[in-house]
Amino acid sequence: MVKASETEATQSEKEEDKYEEYEVEIVQPFGLKFTKGRDGGTYIDAIAPGGSADKTGKFTVGDRVIATSAVFGEEIWPAAEYGRTMYTIRQRIGPLLMKMQKRYGKVEELGELTEKEIIRAERNAGFISDTVREIQVTNARRKKEQKEQRERDLREGLKLSKNGKYEEALEKFESVLGSRPTGDEAAVASYNVACCYSKLNQLQAGLSALEDALEAGFEDFKRIRTDPDLANLRTSENFETLMKKFDESFINENAINAIKSLFGFNKK
């Protein structure tokens, strides 16, 4: 006698077996962007040209993270949940070993044509069927639900960080970042990730998140330089280097002061 649960497990194992697995070690900067799949897993969303990951020649967009090195040491942690996986990757000290599942560009294998492929095929055929309309309605509803979930995660993250629960807050903010946020959402979430890591005195992870915020369009440089939550980050020797990449007004002010000093205008 075979139980239904055993049959389902066997089928699931067979589906997973058809994907090739590989291991690779990379160093900072990793040069990888991640996204959260519908299954809650962690998938590669983009690979930066010339980065550590790109140089290995092994990663492809859509590959699924199975496990990674722990924050430090040689222990391997399973990539069970997106927020926790990102927490581990950002804080990793030393080279990062990643166990991956090759997905050949597909975040999730549906066993049938993807929604985009269905829409493309029918548009090319010159008609829009009820199937396409249903997909469009489903996609619109899904986008709305994802936006509402991002808003909830952001609110919950802010509440947790206000109460000093920074690790729990990080999972909420990282969940926002893994769910295709808008530019403004990404900037705010990344800034708050940086604040949490700063409070945890994880400077490397905090600077990485702060750079993500700046790249996403966060431009409140006065706040970055005065926010008490970023006090630990500002002690890093790499903080000013990062700021100079984005804060043009600060660069111009320094240039003006340098010229004044050169000609003795600043002397009393």
Residues 6+ apart with CB under 8 A from 258: none
List every span in the chain annotated with CATH 1.25.40: 144-255
State residue 38's pLDDT score: 76
Q: What average pLDDT does range 2-29 have in this prediction?
A: 65
3-state secondary structure of 167: helix
3-state secondary structure of 110: coil
Question: What percent of the chain has pLDDT above 90?
Answer: 47
Q: 20-101, which class in CATH?
A: mainly beta
> Chain-wide mean pLDDT for the chain?
81
List every span in the chain annotated with CATH 2.30.42.10: 20-101
Phi first, then psi: give them for residue 265, nearest 5 degrees: -70, -25
In terms of pTM, does the model score above 0.75?
no
Token pair listed for 118: 């269905």
Burial class (CB in 10 A: 0-12, 13-18, 19+), 122: middle
3-state secondary structure of 42: strand
Answer yes or no: is pLDDT of 184 > 80. Answer: yes
Per CATH, domain 144-255 is 1.10.10: no
